[in-house]
């Protein structure tokens, strides 16, 4: 299935080499981050040239069930403890930071203080979770304000709408043939702002942000010479076929949109059908409310959460990911040799007053994005309809 949507707010910068040749000196972290932004990919620490040029010192990663040496950047804490290693994933890029800011930003026009507070505290760690259609509509209003009033988002939206001009006629006809509403052609706007070369940090690519697996399932070619995810027409038609299948499965277009972004609505629909219920938006929000509330209560009450070691993990990287000290994590798990992590190994992440909310926010971040996704898309589609009506009235 798909993962997070790409956010394209890249600011034009000098190239990495230009920065090196200029008067300002980049730190190693800045250099690594620039590499990520310019290449549009996470750092492959196996590249000898990159290692030799940027980072030097060692740590170990769990790969294929065996511990192997991987060269990573070494950092030192401010206290007197020994130096600890940084690990994958690569430093957060500007696009990723702005993607978080896009969800966090709440335009104040046309919203009361109470409504703004409800949006900002939608999944508050310190209060019971409450999701309903009123809040859902509030999210849609907020997204419409972002796209139509706030200068940065309005500029991106208008540019994306213009880029769609040369594709919309052929794609609209194909979407209609598949029985998909015509405005869903513009799903490329909330997905990538209609940028053919868009690449998310989860490796979803193209204007309609297909992962490799889903792209292949829907007939897009991906090999060393071609990646049809970047072909606007081919990926758009694959999007139409995918949405058609999602609607057939879920029976609701908004639920289909949520499923395009992630698997939550599909899991909900499966559970609803098993209980002889008809899947609905209201039911989906109730399902998400119970799911997130269970996570919130669990993290409030637990002493630790479990984490399974994945390929490329190091103990220091896991510690950083969950905002816990390296030494505390190692001691809590009784790990003598952190170089011998194995894929699938269970690691207990200790929870303290200092990291409980951080861990909670990290655990529900994908759910928060998915809750926003339907309102985000519907807001974009409403603006598309308004633009089309304006064009008809002025014709």
**What residues have CB less than 8 Å from 180, skipping those under 6 apart?**
240, 243, 244, 247
How far apart are alpha carbons 249 and 272 in whole angstroms? 12
| Pairwise CA distance, residues 171 & 187, whole Å | 12
Is residue 44 within 8 Å of 33, Cβ to Cβ? no
- Which of the four pLDDT bands, split at 50, 70 and 90, describes residue 113? confident
Count of CB atoms within 10 A of residue 25's CB? 9
Do the domain assignments include residue 19?
Answer: no
pLDDT confidence of residue 59: 40
Contact 209, 198 (CB under 8 A): yes
Number of domains making up the chain: 1
Confidence of residue 49 (pLDDT cuts 50, 70, 90): very low
Q: pLDDT value at position 391?
A: 80
Q: Which two tokens stand for residue 190?
A: 């909330």
Closest CA to 242 of 160, 179, 296: 179
> Per the domain annotation, does 106 fall within a domain?
yes
> In this model, does residue 395 exceed pLDDT 70?
no
User: Residue 45: what pLDDT?
Assistant: 34
The answer to whether residue 352 sits within a structural domain is no
Residue with tokens 């950092």: 75
Q: Which tokens is 321 given?
A: 């990911």
123 or 34, greater pLDDT: 123
Nearest to 72, CA basis, from 249, 289, 320, 260: 320
Contact assessment for residue 211 and residue 4, using Cβ atoms and an 8 Å cutoff: no
Nearby residues of 345 by Cβ (< 8 Å), 6 or more positions away = 62, 308, 309
Would you place residue 38 in the very low, low, confident or very high pLDDT band (cuts 50, 70, 90)? very low
According to the model, what pLDDT value does residue 87 have?
Answer: 37
CATH number at residue 275: 1.10.530.10
Flag the least confident range among 28-32, 117-121, 160-164.
28-32
Residue 2 lies in a domain: no
3-state secondary structure of 201: coil
Range of the domain at 259: 94-298+363-394
Q: pLDDT band at residue 392, thresholds of 50, 70 and 90?
A: confident
pLDDT at position 325 over 70: yes
193 in Cβ contact with 156 (< 8 Å) = yes
Query: How do strand 346-350 and strand 304-308 relate by DSSP bridges?
Result: antiparallel
Q: Is residue 313 part of a domain?
A: no
Mean pLDDT throughout 36-52? 37
- The pLDDT assigned to 26 comes to 47
Residue 355 has pLDDT above 50, yes or no: yes
Question: What distance in Å separates the CA atoms of residue 265 and residue 285, rounded to the nearest whole number?
Answer: 9
Instruction: Let me know if residue 225 belongs to a domain.
Output: yes
Four-residue CA torsion sign, 44, 343, 322, 292: positive
Query: Among 104-108, 197-201, 225-229, which range has the highest average pLDDT?
Result: 225-229
Is the pLDDT at 31 greater than 60, yes or no?
A: no
Q: What is the DSSP letter of 196?
A: T
Place of tokens 């868009």: 198
Q: Is 14 a member of any domain?
A: no
Cα distance between residue 336 and residue 128, in whole Å = 40
Per-residue pLDDT tens over the stretch 226-241: 999 999 999 999 999 9
Q: The pTM is what?
A: 0.72
Quick one: pLDDT at residue 29? 44
Q: Do 301 and 281 meet the contact criterion of CB atoms below 8 Å apart? A: no
> What is the average pLDDT across 111-139?
93
The closest of 54, 70, 60 to 19, measured between CA atoms, is: 54
Percent of the chain with pLDDT over 70: 71
- Over range 266-295, report the average pLDDT: 97
Asked if residue 74 lies in contact with residue 314, where contact means CB atoms within 8 angstroms, the answer is no
Res. 62: pLDDT tops 80:
no
Mean pLDDT score across all residues of the chain = 80
In a domain, 270, yes or no: yes
Q: What would the mean pLDDT of 95-122 be, rounded to a whole number?
A: 70
């Amino acid at each position: 299935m798909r993962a997070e949507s790409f956010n394209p707010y890249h600011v034009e910068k000098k190239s990495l080499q230009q920065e090196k040749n200029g008067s300002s000196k980049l730190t190693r972290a800045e250099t690594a981050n620039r590499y990520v932004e310019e290449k549009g990919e996470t750092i492959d620490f196996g590249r000898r040239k990159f290692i030799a040029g940027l980072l030097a010192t060692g740590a170990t990663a769990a790969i294929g069930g065996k511990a192997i040496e991987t060269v990573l950047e070494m950092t030192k804490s401010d206290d007197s403890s020994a130096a600890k290693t940084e690990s994958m994933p690569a430093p957060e890029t500007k696009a990723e930071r702005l993607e978080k800011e896009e969800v966090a930003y709440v335009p104040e026009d046309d919203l009361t203080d109470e409504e703004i507070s409800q949006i900002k505290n939608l999944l508050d760690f310190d209060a019971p979770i409450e999701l309903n259609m009123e809040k859902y509509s509030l999210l849609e209003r907020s997204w419409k304000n972002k796209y139509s009033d706030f200068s940065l988002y309005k500029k991106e939206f208008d540019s994306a709408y213009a880029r769609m001009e040369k594709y919309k006629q052929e794609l609209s006809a194909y979407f209609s043939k598949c029985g998909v509403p015509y405005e869903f052609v513009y799903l490329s706007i909330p997905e990538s702002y209609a940028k053919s070369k868009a690449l998310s940090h989860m490796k979803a690519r193209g204007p309609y942000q297909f992962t490799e697996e889903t792209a292949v399932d829907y007939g897009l070619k991906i090999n060393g010479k071609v990646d049809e995810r970047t072909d606007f027409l081919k990926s758009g038609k694959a999007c139409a076929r995918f949405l058609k299948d999602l609607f057939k499965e879920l029976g609701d277009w908004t639920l289909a949109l949520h499923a395009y972004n992630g698997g939550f609505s599909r899991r909900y629909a499966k559970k609803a059908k098993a209980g002889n219920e008809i899947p609905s938006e209201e039911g989906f929000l109730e399902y998400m409310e119970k799911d997130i509330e269970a996570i919130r209560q669990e993290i409030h009450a637990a002493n630790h959460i479990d984490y399974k070691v994945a390929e490329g993990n190091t103990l220091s990287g896991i510690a950083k990911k969950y905002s816990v000290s390296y030494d505390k994590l190692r001691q809590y798990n009784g790990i003598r040799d952190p170089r011998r992590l194995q894929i699938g190994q269970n690691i207990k992440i200790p929870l303290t007053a200092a990291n409980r909310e951080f861990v909670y926010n990290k655990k529900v971040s994908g759910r928060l994005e998915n809750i926003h996704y339907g309102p985000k898309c519907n807001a974009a589609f409403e603006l598309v309809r308004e633009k089309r009506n304006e064009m008809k009235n002025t014709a």
